[in-house]
Chains A and B, each alone.
Chain A
Amino acid sequence: MAKLKIKNLKKSYENEQIIHGVNLEIKDGEFVVFVGPSGCGKSTLLRLIAGLEEITEGEISIGDKVVNEIAPSKRGVAMVFQNYALYPHMNVYKNMSFALRQARMNKDEINRRVKNAAEILQISDFLLKTPRSLSGGQRQRVAIGRAIVREPDVFLFDEPLSNLDAALRVNTRLEIARLHKRLGTTMIYVTHDQVEAMTLADKIVVLNNGKIEQIGSPIELYENPLNMFVAGFIGSPKMNFLNSKTLTKNISTIVKGAKREDIIGIRPEHLLKTTYTKSIISARLDLIENLGENVLVHMILNNDDQIIAKMNTAPKEPIGTKLHFTANIKNLHLFNKK
């Protein structure tokens, strides 16, 4: 177990800079999720920590040791790859014990660790099977097992669930959460899926274009996004952004001190249906998606922007009717348009 520190980290390929000076501190035992759209540099950042990419500038330290020049296997990190990356010519036992055999660990210890990890992950029955004969979920568990047996200081997960189908993804997500609780090891997890990030993380790092946009607990990011990027990325459906022209009231009367060019953000679940006089926005009903437990109401504003409201019951009005909404003042987010 160890803390991890990243200081002014930069990474360039040829002339293109991918990571622009990242600073980050991860506490011992913390579950940190790197989240962001594809191409934001989250995987590169993970691979830099793993040692699979060379650091252009800056410093990574694990524990108290700077690991810039240390080989991947000596950093005390273990990685779980998106496509499992199991060795197809070895059975599950050999896959899991490979790193330990490379380290010339004694046989009994190897056996103990593999058996133990297999039990945690409930793959004891597959130990003699080849990866080819396993399902996707089982393969992913073997890949996680391969990381566990090494007893690393830091686990690295690179989009480990994206090759699994939806039902299995939820299951495996829970298993990873349980695993973290059980082992208490520092984990870094990369995903583009904000639901995974919200459910797993102690701390989320939102990345965009090779820069950190915001670091915080899931609830902090949800309640106090620093900018429109984070606000739009965290939460589903996405936060609605309203400029002052689309509001039914003057922006400064809704939020004190707001300027005309500012933007108000309201999450779909915070829009409340009301009458015109009490409303802050009005929009034309366009489409209703009934999800069972709740309803997504798609509407069009007078400037043709779309907004979504998440409601408990579908509005009775016919399509095309103007609906009026307000929101609790504490659920409004004010952003400066950059």
Chain B
Amino acid sequence: MAIVAQTSNLGKIFWPALAWLISIIFFFPIFWMVLTSFKTDADAVKPEFLIFFKPTLENYFNMTDNYDYWRFAINSTITSIFATLFSLFVGVPASYVMAFNPTKNTKNILIWMLSTKMLPAAAVLYPMTFITKNFLNIYDTHFLIILVLCLINLPIVIWMLFTYFKEIPKEIIEASRMDGVNTWGELKEIIIPLAWGGLASTALLCFIFCWNEAYWTVRLTTNEAATLSKLIEGNRAPEGLFFGRLSAVSSAAVAPIVILGWFCQRQLVKGLTFGAVK
């Protein structure tokens, strides 16, 4: 008891304080970005307007009027949604097979899939650009972006789903086979309902990754399929440092995903910490 009392006295002050401190450190840049987005480009670099300034929506109007924000936003939405759906479409059957009918190579396949994430993206930049531009003629198309987003997220999607599916007791699957379900029925009636939490959080995480992806979306698009990452990128260097405008674009780009994440955080935490099945 004595030990518990001692730690709890210290813990009551110390740990919450530390948690707050860390949260503030993480949150501050975002706060600063949002704050700056309401400043004019001129005000943004002046130290006297650090905290107290005259807020303006000029940057946001500028963004929607002159930079076609909505087109980028729609591209981001389309590519993220379709890439997520397609990843699940491929990932669910793949992880189903590996979880319930494993062979001695299943572990190797999983490791191999993960190993594709270890390859530096820059290493394949040239072949990717060259092939998509000159041979396949799909450079700067939604199709290409969806394909690329899907491919880079598939290993994570499969790994996550594999872990969730593994959580389902084998006997339940066997019982359903005794009860006469076919493979499709097994997925539809048993596995998807049981792994629903895991599926939802996998889809959400995949969507977030797709939305935030910048390396490929910036480099494989020029205009047609350009996403919000490209918009931010475009507002960065060429015309000098327009902090107000850049902040507004960035805020507008992260806002949808932050809002989505906020509403789904319970689902996400529940899914990521497992234990939703039994």
Contact = CB atoms under 8 A, between A and B. Distances in A.
B179 A88 contact: no
A83 interface: yes
Contacts of A86: 172, 175
B185 A102 contact: yes
A88 B168 CA distance: 10
A214 to B, nearest CB: 30
Interface residues on B, range: 10 to 19
B180 interface: yes
A116 B179 CA distance: 19
Interface string A49-69: 011100000000000000000
B193 interface: yes
Contact of A73 (B171, B179, B194): B179
A88 B177 contact: no
A222 interface: no
A89 B177 contact: no
A329 interface: no
Interface residues of A, number: 24
20 contacts: A52-B178, A72-B178, A73-B180, A73-B181, A78-B178, A81-B174, A83-B171, A85-B169, A85-B174, A85-B175, A86-B175, A88-B172, A88-B277, A88-B278, A89-B194, A98-B176, A99-B178, A99-B179, A102-B181, A102-B185
B169 A79 contact: no
A87 B277 contact: no
B171 A98 contact: no
A201 interface: no
A140 to B, nearest CB: 13
Interface string B222-233: 000000000000
Residue of A51, A74, A78, A79 contacting most chain B CB atoms (<10 Å): A79
A166 interface: no
A85 B103 CA distance: 24
A89 B193 contact: yes
B174 A99 contact: no
Nearest to B190: A87
Contacts of B194: 87-89
Contacts of A87: 172, 175-176, 190, 194
Interface in A99-128: 99, 102-103
A82 B172 CA distance: 11
B171 A103 contact: no
Contacts of A77: 178
A150 B175 CA distance: 13
A99 B177 contact: no
Nearest to A98: B179
Contacts of B180: 71-74, 99, 102-103
A73 B179 CA distance: 6
**Interface pairs A-B: 7 shortest CB-CB:** A73-B180, A85-B171, A99-B179, A85-B175, A102-B180, A89-B193, A81-B171
Contacts of B277: 88
B179 A81 contact: no
Given A85-B169, A89-B194, A50 B178 contact: yes
Contacts of B172: 85-88
Interface string A259-293: 00000000000000000000000000000000000
A235 B180 CA distance: 40
Nearest to A73: B180
Given A85-B171, A87-B175, 8 more contacts: A51-B178, A77-B178, A81-B175, A86-B172, A87-B190, A88-B277, A88-B278, A98-B179
Nearest to A82: B171
